[in-house]
Structure 1
Amino acid sequence: MKFPENWLRQHVRTDATREQLSATLTAIGLEVEEMEVIGEKLDGVVVARIVECAKHPEADKLQVCKVDIGTGALQQIVCGAPNARPNLVAPLATIGTQVGTLTIRVAKLRGVDSNGMLCSAKELGLDADASGLLELPHDAPVGAPLAEYLGLPDARFELKLTPNRADCFSVRGIAYDVAAAFGSEVVPFDATPMPALNDAAMAINLDAGADVPRFVGRVIEGVDANVHTPIWMAERLRRSGIRPISLLVDVTQYVMLEIGQPMHAFDRDLLKGPISVRRARANESLKLLDGRDVALDDQFLVVADNDRAVALGGIMGGFDTRVTDTTRNVFLEAAHWVPSAIIGRGRRLGLHTDAGHRFERGVDPDLPRQAIEIATRLIVEIAGGAPGPVTEAVLPEHLPQPQYVPLRRARLARVLGTTVSDTEVQRILHALGLAVVPTHDGWNVLPPTRRFDIAIEEDLIEEIARVFGYDNIPATLPGGGTRLAAPTETKVEEGTVRRHLATRDYLEAVNYAFVDESLLATWHATDNAVPLANPLSAELGVMRTQLLPGLVAALARNAARQQTRVRLFELGRVFHSNTGGAPLETNRIAAVACGAVTTEQWSEKTRNVDFHDLKGDLESLALLSGAQLTFKPGTAAHGHPGRSADVYRQTEEGEDRIGWIGQLHPRLAKTLDLPVEVVAFELDLDPMLARNIPRAAVLSKYPSVRRDLAFVVPETVRWADVQATVKAAAGVILRDLLLFDRYSGAGVESGFKSLAMGLILQDESRTLTDRDVEHVVTEVVSALQAQHHAAIRS
């Protein structure tokens, strides 16, 4: 937000110096990003009129000008400006004046005397325009000091506003904060309604519901659009960073800067029929003021007449109904566009406008009528014309209604750590434009409609703190004992997981939580994806539903840079949409690996990492919490059909699927342009971290017995199923079950495999006898034969 100092001081009276004003604005949260002094040393620069111009006899680009500076005698000035011409009013630096680093003296230019210098805006430090002389209005008083005529010296402030302070995108909004900080009051503002002088009006229909609950319009007939913008208005606009264009446009810009309400002026004669505010139709097009044709859809709001869109709601007006020098009848509009209906719309079209910037953050819904009255007064006083009645369409049920916010005296003192007197609290709140009703324990405060950021007690405490002054709040160290939170034994710390994976040669990666939707589509992971309403870029448009897409992308970038052995892991959250509520967030852990199992060395033959290597890493991780994992053929679309598995954790109720492990599908690897085979896993983190409280158990003092068995089973039988059958059949004396061999080939029928296992048997109360062991073996053999068609291998 840019604004000139002198304009601000018209809205709030203060004796503070420029430096004090700058420092205080920053101290109360309106950070001054830049302050530029304008026209500080213009003594000796006067308003002058060029009476005649003649070509310089010795130079093609110079002119010899006779200039009137109000003394009765014409001054001879040699000038090279391309716009120097008779009757032009421009600034003249007289003899002895210092302009920048140059002191003006009597000089001869190519043999012709010159008694001063006609100046451009850049030479005077007023603007960046150096294309020619600064052209002043024809009625500017010749001979008057330029500084006096232009209201100089002045200073241009540029504030870096936080998104919650949309009320400070206007000079008057800033004035409230300045008044509170300096113990002053905002100067009353004249917004007296202009009486209607005719019946000219346009009907207004609101067809966008809650998105546009208020629209105000007014017709002014017989306007002289050729009248120049007054110098005082043009200078305020220029010092606020806006180039003056024409009176009707400049008035709308001026009102926006002064009170914060964006407006638009239409040529009434180019509008056909009543005005309606509606959603754009599919494939509807609109030519904007900047000359661009844009294609719209129902996500955009438009102002329309009978058969077409004439303005892009809350962002920019249309080209076909713009005001020009030939405009005689004007239709002014000011509306309340809610932020949710405007956010991101301009960005979709590559537009960033002052109006859109304000509406995205929120504009006072009570301002439109006031803005219409102020703009009407300015236009009629400067350009004439007869205003018609103000026409207002409103949906009261959709307008925000301010609510009283309680502020407790004790709570204020506790949060700030100091006591602020009741008188000072009420003074600050009143100066900020808030209504205050004292109560027995504090105050009930009603924020004005422009203060969207005040909704809870903490917001009011913040207002008191920043205006009272953070420097006035003592820095006090917290007292009392600090409570130490003991880590729970029912959960493994995430730091332990990170350290464990680091010891197994993995590096931690941190990826964005938002990704490209097309990347998720490649992984078949777009179900219940959460789109962002205001993404940083098109490539970061949705929240991630899996960790692996980002992690594999990181691996691919490393592999593309000659890193043949990559092992990465990530702990993070994934997001899924939730009907009627906030997105569901799930903690996940994922890891990826490619290349050799170990770093290159002389003592071991190099081989690439495979499913079983990664499975070993996962099972070692599960041992941290004592989780019992089982694996079943994978169902994920991104997994290799024969080399991936779904991961289950055993619970008292059964088993729960917690993730996936395996090799990426070759088709996916090709799509992602992966030069190597990649193995990976991704699991829900919380089930992996949960553990039972360790309990002491008696170790048996009796010897264990081992029996080795070899069975031939169909190739389709999974070891996990065999393992479950053996454990159920062996009963409580089975201490451990080991699979020490798997064989298929010569001696084993095609379509079958041989599994050799060791049963470790032990009792806690006695030594097992041969009969006990044989009974267990018999039960195991019978169970395997019955359930898996297993046969003892001969």
Structure 2
Amino acid sequence: MKFSEKWLREWVNPALSTGELAEQLSMAGLEVDGIEPVASAFTGVVVGEVITCGQHPDADKLQVTQVDVGGPELVDIVCGASNCRAGLKVAVATVGAVLPGDFKIKKTKLRGAPSHGMLCSASELELSDDSEGIMELPADAPVGKDLREWLDLEDYSLDVDLTPNRADCLGIRGIAREVGVLNNLDVTVPAVPAVPATIGDSLAITLAAPAACPRYLGRVVRGVDMAASSPLWLTEKLRRSGVRAIDPVVDITNYVLLELGQPMHAFDLATLDQEIVVRMAQQGEKLTLLDGQEVKLDDDILVIADSNKALAMAGIFGGKDSGVTENTKDVFLESAFFSPDLIMGHARRYGLHTDASHRYERGVDPELQQKAMERATALILEICGGEAGPITEAKDMAHLPTETQVVLRADRLARVLGITIAPAQVTEILERLGFTVELTGETAQQWQVGVPAYRFDISIEEDLIEEVARVYGYNNIPSAAPLARLAMYRTPEAKLPLSLFQQRLIAAGYQEVITYSFVEPKHQDLLYPNAPTLVLPHPISVDMSSMRLGLLPGLLTAAGYNQKRQQASVRFFESGLRFVPDQTAENGIRQEAVIGGVLLGSQLTEHWREGNKPVDFYQVKGQVESLLAATGALHEYRFVAANNSALHPGQSANIYRGEQYVGFCGALHPQFEKTFGLKGRAFVFELLLSAIETRAVPVAAGISRYPSIRRDIAVIVDRTTTAGELLAAIRNVGANHVVDLHLFDVYQGDTLPVDKQSLAIALTLQAQERTLEDTDVNESVAKIVALLQTKFNAVLRDS
């Protein structure tokens, strides 16, 4: 929000310098980004009147003038502007004047004619970019008056960077209210009398979408003179607020926007058909905007229409075909309240950003439309003439914002701020902010606060505490060292921290990456086909519009990005949330913490002895087992061959702990390598942290003093039987004295049928209290062999 300091001081004038005012606003949460003078430095420029203006005898494009600058004699000045004429009030740089850029005016001759000064254009004084002719001043401008003094150019433009929650300050009215509160001053609000209707013309208004537009006001003004010039005071206030003057009607609506914070729009009445309908657009409906751009509207876009066609994108941009032009005679003024929730994000979707959309997205005062309409009507009649019809209003009270009731407790206020503010001062602060306040409570004081509808940001007690604190002054709250009592939190021994898994991966050569939680929907649909996805209503961009269902989209995109930059081998991991639609979860989304990784390239750095062996399935499986081993219960996990649409058939596995799903690992399906720009086979894994963050708590036991015995058995089983199944069965059988076992050989060869394989398992047996005898060992081995024969139809291999 950019505005003129002088304009603000018309409403409220604290005894502060410009810098002090800016500091005060910034400390109150309205950060002032910049302070600029409204005019460049120049001296010696006065108001003059052209008395005579004739053709230069020796130059076709020059004119010789005599100008009254308030002195005893007229001043001869040669001018080349086409709009120079007798009787015109102009800005005159007299001899000795210094213009912007340190340009000094001296006596001179142009084509033999004396010229003792210069008639200035607005661009030469750096008051605007308009260089078409000299600057024309109003007829009542006082001749001889210093231009800087007459235009009150000793002024500054303040640029306030408002946070999105302070839409109430997107107008001089709101800024003045804040300054008044901060300085305990009353605000002088300009009177806005009702403009009586002198004609009966009006248009019917229909609210076909009352939830999006619960209030709409319209008014017909006939006989408007578009050739009239906006007065200098109006264009100057617009200029100092960073708004360019266009035509009198648009200038007036812009002025009301800056003054009150209420956007308005003017339609050419001749282009409207029968009535005004506020409705949702039809899918694919076309509209040509004021800037000439043609857009296809979606069916969630609110439009202002007549009985046949859309006229404007409501609260965003007007239509070209219904906008006012230099030929407009009659206008239809619009002043409306649009729901922020149904306007938000629509301008950005079409690559638009307007002053109106900026305000409507944040919320305008739902009670301001009538005042804005009266203000704009009065200015139009004053500047452009014409006759006004009655104001027509359509509203739906059920959808209009209402006053919010919030309770503020005195003890809570003191506890949060760390100081006690007198109740009378708290009441005064809240009332000056425009709230209705009632102090209640017999033992514990509290305030029942009615928050006006235009303060969309106030809904809970903490919001009121923030308001009191910033008006009271953060710098007035004394600094005090925090007082706290340290307490040791109970940390379950079985709980594994995320950092443990991260450190294991880093030690294995991985690098941690952080990717966005919102991903390209096309990529996600490829990796997770037919899976429901949370789609963002207002995404940063189209390729970041879906919440991720897992870590693969981000990891693979990062891997492809790095490979394109000459990083052939990639080891990335990431931990974060995935977002799974689930109607049984809070807000319909199940958020699960996961950790995952991607491997590409060689197993080891290229070496003369080791070669350049690429990564394979067993390397990623071994890495996953390293993470699972941190739980101290690796034997409880099992890898089950599975068909995952994102992974290569035959090189993918789901991981379970008992019957609980833990995650997956495997090779990325080759069809996706080109999609993510990958070179070579990629292997990935993803694990649910909730399934692996609990470890088996160690139990102290004595170390056996007796020797261990190893026995090897080799069994022939079907090729479909996995070694993991055999090892799990042996662990579960509870054979006496078995303290360790592992697979040490797999044979599939010519001496065996094609559907069979030989698995060799090493058994380590040991007793705690004595040395085992052969009978003990043979009994345990026999028990294990019998189990394998019964459960897996295994045959003991004898050679």
TM category (shorter chain) comes to over 0.9
C-alpha distance in 1, partners of 2:200/2:178?
Answer: 41
Q: Please tell me whether residue 636 in structure 1 is matched to residue 640 in structure 2.
A: no
CA-CA distance at 1:130 after TM superposition: 4.3
CA distance in 1, matches of 2:776, 2:505: 43
Q: After the TM superposition, which of the residue ranges 587-596 and 551-560 deviates more from structure 2?
A: 551-560
Residue correspondence of structure 1 range 338-737 to structure 2 within 5 A: 338-440=339-441, 441-485=445-489, 487-524=491-528, 527-579=531-583, 581=587, 583-627=589-633, 628-650=636-658, 655-700=659-704, 703-729=707-733, 731=735, 733-737=737-741
Q: Bigger CA drift: 360-369 or 721-730?
A: 721-730
Deviations 1:457-499 (A, max 9, x none): 2112211222222221111111243334454312111222222
> How far off its partner does 1:662 sit?
0.9
User: Does the aligned pair in 1 maintain the 2:402–2:452 contact within 8 Å?
Assistant: no
Aligned equivalents of 1:258 and 1:334: distance in 2? 14
- SS across alignment from 1:375: helix
Alpha-carbon offset, residue 132 of structure 1: 4.2
Q: Is the 8 A contact 1:42 1:146 kept in 2?
A: no
Alpha-carbon displacement from aligned partner over 1:70-114 (angstroms, at most 9, x marks no partner): 558542212345654555543112233332323433233454321
- Partner of 2:404, secondary structure, is coil
| SS in structure 1 of the partner of residue 96 of structure 2 | coil
Q: Deviations for 1:691-712, whole angstroms, at most 9, x for unmatched residues?
A: 2433334555555443211122
User: 1:3-42 counterparts in 2 under 5 A?
Assistant: 3-39=3-39
Cα contact 2:525–2:531 (8 A) shared by 1: no
Deviations along 1:725-776, one digit per CA (max 9) or x if unpaired, are 3334454643332110001122122122111112233455665554444444
Q: Which moved more, 1:471-480 or 1:92-101?
A: 92-101
The amino acid of 1:784's aligned partner reads: L
CA 635–226 in structure 1, closer or farther in 2 if over 3 Å, else same: same
CA change 1:326–1:574 in 2 (3 A) is: same
Instruction: Structure 2: state its 5+ residue gaps.
Output: none
8 Å CA contact 1:234–1:244 kept in 2: the answer is yes
1:260-275 mapped onto 2 (5 Å cutoff): 260-275=261-276
Q: Which amino acid aligns with 2:649?
A: P
Distance 1:659 1:144, change over 3 A: same
* 3-state secondary structure, aligned to 1:45: strand
Q: How far 1:656 sits from its partner (Å)?
A: 0.9
Amino acid in structure 2 at the alignment position of 1:555: A
SS of the residue corresponding to residue 322 of structure 1 reads coil
Amino acid at match of 2:96: G
2:735 and 2:783 in contact (8 A); partners too? no
Q: Which residue of 1 aligns with 2:97?
A: 97
Counterparts of 1:99 and 1:406 in 2: how far apart (Å)? 59
One-letter amino acid matched to 1:706: R
Identity %: 44
* Stretch moving more, 337-346 or 143-152: 143-152
Given that residues 736 and 780 in structure 2 are in contact (C-alpha distance below 8 angstroms), is that contact kept between their aligned partners in structure 1? Answer: no
Deviations 1:216-270 (A, max 9, x none): 1122233333322121111111111111111111111111111111111112222
C-alpha spacing 1:66/1:620, structure 2 compared with 1 (3 Å): same
Residue 223 and residue 131 in structure 1: after superposition, are their counterparts in 2 closer, same or farther (change >3 A)?
closer
| Contact 1:547–1:570, Cα closer than 8 Å, also in 2 | yes
| Aligned partner letter, 2:746 | R
Check 1:602–1:457 CA distance in 2 against 1; reply closer, same or farther (3 A cut): same
Paired with 1:22 and 1:111, the residues of 2 have a C-alpha distance of 53
**Rounded Cα–Cα distance in structure 1 between residues aligned with 2:220 and 2:594:** 61
**Separation of aligned partners in 1, 2:484 and 2:785:** 68
Q: Is the 8 A contact 1:525 1:546 kept in 2?
A: no
Counterpart residue number, 1:213: 214
- The two structures, once aligned, show a CA RMSD in angstroms of 2.4
Residues in 1 aligned to 2:428 and 2:95: alpha-carbon distance in whole angstroms: 53
CA contact (8 A) 1:44 1:94 kept: yes
Q: Which amino acid aligns with 1:636?
A: N
Q: Which amino acid aligns with 2:613?
A: R
1:105–1:116 contact (8 Å) kept in structure 2: yes
Taking the aligned partners of 2:549 and 2:89, their CA distance within structure 1 comes to 67
The 2-side partners of 1:228 and 1:638 are apart by 68
**TM-score, length of structure 2 as denominator length:** 0.93
Alpha-carbon spacing, 1:605–1:64, altered in 2? closer, same or farther (3 Å): same
Residue 8 of structure 1 aligns with an amino acid whose one-letter code is L
C-alpha distance in structure 1 between counterparts of 2:774 and 2:85, whole Å:
123
The separation in 2 between residues aligned to 1:727 and 1:465, in whole angstroms, is 66
Q: In the TM superposition, what is the alpha-carbon distance from 1:567 to its structure 2 partner? A: 1.2
Give the Cα–Cα distance (whole angstroms) in 2 for the partners of residues 690 and 184 of structure 1. 63
- What SS class does the counterpart of residue 709 from structure 1 fall into? strand
Q: CA 1:525/1:179 → structure 2, altered by over 3 Å: closer, same or farther?
A: farther
User: Shift of the alpha carbon at 1:543?
Assistant: 1.9
Question: Alpha carbons of 1:303 and 1:727: their partners in 2 closer, same or farther (altered >3 Å)?
Answer: same
1:740/1:41 Cα in 2 relative to 1: closer, same or farther (>3 Å)?
A: closer
Alignment of 1:87-486 (within 5 A): 88-100=88-100, 101-138=102-139, 140-440=141-441, 441-485=445-489
Q: Give the 3 Å change call, closer, same or farther, for CA 82–660 of structure 1 in structure 2.
A: farther
The range that moved more, 279-288 or 385-394, is 385-394
Mapped to 1, the partners of 2:588 and 2:188 lie a distance apart of 45
In the TM superposition, 1:58-77 aligns within 5 A as 62-69=62-69, 73-77=73-77
Per-residue deviation, 1:276: 1.0
Contact 1:525 1:545 in 2 (8 A): no
Does structure 2 retain, via aligned residues, the 8 Å contact 1:730–1:780? no
CA change 1:714–1:62 in 2 (3 A) is farther
The CA distance in 1 between the partners of 2:757 and 2:367, in whole Å, is 81
Q: What is the identity, as a one-letter code, of the residue corresponding to 2:762?
A: G
Quick one: distance in 1 between partners of 2:722 and 2:39? 87
In structure 2, C-alpha distance between the alignment counterparts of 1:526 and 1:7, rounded to whole Å: 59
Amino acid at match of 1:632: V
Letter of the 2:37 counterpart: V
Contact 1:520 1:526 survives alignment (8 Å): no
Amino acid at match of 1:634: A
Deviation of the 1:58 alpha carbon: 6.2
Letter paired with 1:159: V
One-letter code aligned to 2:665:
I
Return 54-63 or 372-381, whichever deviates more: 54-63
Closer, same or farther in 2 for the Cα pair 1:95/1:717, shift >3 Å? Answer: same
Whether the 8 Å CA contact 1:205–1:393 is kept in 2: the answer is yes
Paired AA for residue 623 in structure 1:
A
| DSSP-derived class of the 1:500 partner | helix
Amino acid at match of 2:663: G
Shift, 1:422, TM fit:
2.7
TM-score normalised by the chain length of structure 1 = 0.94
Contact 1:121 1:134 in 2 (8 A): yes
1:302 CA drift (Å): 0.4
